[in-house]
Chains A and B, each alone.
Chain A
Amino acid sequence: MTDLATLPTTRDEDWRYADAAALESSDAETLTGWTEIAVPAGESRAESRDVTGVERIRVRVGKSGKFELSAVNAAPGYARLECEVTLEDGAHFEFGGVTIGGGNETREFVTRCIHVEPNATSNQVVRAVHWGKATGNFLGRIEVVRDAQKTDAAQNFRAILLEKGASANTKPELEIFADDVKCAHGAAIGALDQMAGFYMAARGIPPEIARKLQVQAFVADAFENIEDEALGERLLERALSVLEGAQL
Chain B
Amino acid sequence: MLKIENLHAEVATADGAKQILNGLTLEVGAGEVHAIMGPNGAGKSTLAYALGGRPGYEITQGSVTFDGKDLLDMEPHERAAAGLFLGFQYPVEIPGVSNVQFLREAANAQRKARGEEPLTGGEFLKLAKEKAALLRMDMDMLKRPVNVGFSGGEKKRNEMVQMGILDPKFAILDETDSGLDIDALRTVGDGINSIMRAEGKGVLLITHYQRLLDYVKPDKVHILAKGRIVKTGGPELALELEREGYEEVV
Question: What is the interface of chain A, defined by CB distance below 8 A to chain B?
Answer: 193-196, 198-207, 209, 213-214, 216-218, 220-221
Contacts and interface: CB of A to CB of B under 8 A. Distances in A.
Contact of B52 (A193, A194, A202, A213): A202
Contact of B77 (A194, A195, A205, A221): A205
The 9 tightest CB contacts between A and B, nearest first, are A217-B96, A204-B80, A201-B76, A203-B106, A199-B92, A204-B110, A201-B77, A202-B86, A204-B109
Interface centre among B75, B96, B107 (most CB of A within 10 A): B96
A236 to B, nearest CB: 11
A205 B53 CA distance: 13
B92 A196 contact: yes
B88 interface: yes
15 contacts: A198-B52, A198-B54, A198-B92, A200-B102, A201-B75, A202-B52, A202-B86, A203-B102, A204-B106, A204-B113, A205-B102, A206-B77, A213-B94, A213-B105, A217-B95
Contacts of A195: 92
Contacts of A213: 94, 97, 101-102, 105
B30 to A, nearest CB: 21
B115 interface: no
Given A203-B106, A203-B162, A198 B76 contact: yes
Given A194-B55, A209-B105, A213-B105, A202 B76 contact: yes
A202 B89 CA distance: 13
Given A201-B53, A202-B86, A202-B88, A214 B80 contact: no
A203 B94 contact: no
Q: Which of A204, A217, A220 has the most CB of B within 10 A?
A: A204
Interface of B: 52-55, 75-77, 79-81, 85-86, 88, 91-97, 101-103, 105-107, 109-110, 113, 145, 162, 166
A216 B96 CA distance: 8
A209 B103 CA distance: 12
B173 to A, nearest CB: 12
A209 B77 CA distance: 11
Contacts of B75: 201, 206-207
Contacts of A205: 77, 102, 105-106, 109
Contacts of A201: 53, 75-77, 80
Contacts of B103: 203
A160 to B, nearest CB: 12
Nearest to A206: B77
Contacts of B88: 199, 202
B102 to A, nearest CB: 7
A206 B110 CA distance: 9
B92 A204 contact: no
Given A204-B110, A205-B109, 4 more contacts: A201-B53, A204-B81, A207-B75, A213-B94
Interface centre among B92, B93, B102, B113 (most CB of A within 10 A): B92
Given A204-B81, A204-B110, A220-B96, A199 B91 contact: yes
Contacts of A203: 80, 102-103, 106, 162, 166
A194 B76 CA distance: 13
Contacts of A218: 96
Contacts of B101: 213
Given A194-B55, A202-B88, A203-B162, A214 B94 contact: yes
B221 to A, nearest CB: 25
B50 to A, nearest CB: 12
A12 B197 CA distance: 69
Contact of A214 (B91, B97, B113): B97
B177 to A, nearest CB: 19
A220 B97 CA distance: 10
A213 to B, nearest CB: 5
Contacts of B52: 198, 202
Given A201-B75, A201-B80, A213-B102, A206 B109 contact: yes
A216 B98 CA distance: 12
Contacts of A193: 92, 94
Contact of B97 (A204, A206, A207, A217): A217
Nearest to B163: A203
Contacts of B92: 193, 195-196, 198-199
A196 B94 contact: yes
Contacts of A214: 94, 97
A167 to B, nearest CB: 24
A240 to B, nearest CB: 13
